[in-house]
Amino acid sequence: MKPSIWVKRIAFIIVLLAIWQGVYMSGYFPAIQFPPPTKVFQALVEGFADGTLVGALLASFKHLLIGLALAITLGTLIGVLLGKSRQADETAGMYLIAMQSIPSIVWVPLAIMLIGLNETAVIFVVVLGGTFVMALNVRTAIHSVPPEFIKAARTMGAKGLPLFFKVEVPASLPYYMSGIRLAWAFSWRALMAGELLSNGPGLGYSLRFAMDFAQMELVIGIIIIVGVIGSVVDQLVFSKLEKKVMRRWGLLK
């Protein structure tokens, strides 16, 4: 990336912080409702120093990793079934789209009533948040394998499972990677929804805790952490992986 782009981006943040500080100094909002940037920064430093935020982050990552791994596994199985079997697709494909359109926060009451106010319920919501979008993308991935690859492979004696694993799986990898990226994004949102209404620990729980104790600086601080993690993980891990695969597959120059 060109350095000038970074200069613009950093300047933008500085301007934003300056406006924030300006509004604070105008005294329009009471200080308890509208802390200055410095106080938010201080709250974050303290949170990390005394370990509460570190613990919350670790708990959140644990929920996310377990939930996302399950979502990817389940989504892959459902997606392959729907992608390979016309019967299954005609029967259940429509419902999958319906399920995918349900916002994950809707699952939280169901999870709490079914499982209880515990971490398993949070993981359950994360799984539901990621599975359907993963399944839809895997189904698309399999449908979008170029038929000429399959024809060529068949003339070279490939069929059945070897044809599936040696041609269809690698051919669908670019879409599969998009599926994983989306599953991560959906799971991350679901995680926050689940934790916000949970009994902790977790970043979402810390957020509600901060609200309950009227610590606006911590509320803003945690929102910033959530945003930073969401975009950094997407940019550094999933987008990168997806682009790498696309480039190798010749889909991106």
Partner 1 sequence: MFLQMNEVAKRFADHEVFSGINVSIEKNQFVSILGPSGCGKSTLLSMVAGLEDVTEGTLRLGGEKILHPGTDRGMVFQQPALFPWLTVKDNVTFPLKADHSKREKEQIAANYLKMVHLTRFKDAYPHELSGGMQQRVAIARALAMDPKVLLMDEPFGALDEQTRHILHDELMKIFEETKKTILFVTHSIQEAIKLSDRVIVMGTRPGKIIADFPIDIARPRERDDTKVIEMEKKIMELLEDEIKKVMKEELDYETKHLG
> Which one of the spans 25-33, 52-60, 159-167, 219-227 is the region binding partner 1 (CB under 8 A)?
159-167
Question: What track of x and - describes contact with partner 1 for positions 116 through 155 (by CB under 8 A)?
Answer: ------------------------------x-xx-xxxxx
Residue with structure tokens 């509208």? 34
CA–CA gap between residue 173 and residue 138 (Å, rounded): 9
Q: Residues 45-58, buried b or exposed e (16+ Cβ, 10 A)?
A: eebeeeeebebbbe
Q: Does residue 248 interact with partner 1 by CB under 8 A?
A: yes
How much is the CA Rg of the chain, to the nearest whole Å? 22
Residue 64 or 142: the one with the smaller Cβ distance to partner 1 is: 142
Instruction: Characterize 194-219 residue by residue with b for buried, 16 or more Cβ atoms within 10 angstroms of its Cβ, and e for exposed.
Output: bbbbbebbbbbbbbbbbeeeebbbbb
Give least dist CB 159 to partner 1, A.
8
Q: How far is the CB of 172 from partner 1 (least distance, A)?
A: 11
- Which of 36, 37, 93, 170 forms a contact with partner 1 (CB under 8 A)? 170
For residues 7, 227, 141 and 174, what is the CA-based torsion angle, rounded to 10 degrees?
Answer: 30
Residue nearer to partner 1 on the CB measure, 148 or 212: 148
* Residue 177 makes contact with partner 1 by CB under 8 A: no
Q: To the nearest whole angstrom, how small is the minimum distance from the Cβ of residue 108 to partner 1?
A: 40
Applying CB under 8 A, among 18, 113, 156, 232 the residue interacting with partner 1 is: 156
Least Å from the CB of residue 138 to partner 1: 17
Instruction: Decide: is 171 part of the binding site for partner 1 (CB under 8 A).
Output: yes
Whole-angstrom distance, CA of residue 79 vs CA of residue 168: 13
Cα–Cα distance for residue pair 12/18, rounded to 1 Å: 10
Taking alpha carbons only, the member of 40, 16, 21, 25 closest to residue 215 is 40
The nearest distance, CB 170 to partner 1, in angstroms, is 5
Q: Summarize as ranges the residues that interact with partner 1 (CB under 8 A).
A: 146, 148-149, 151-157, 159, 166-167, 170-171, 173, 248-250
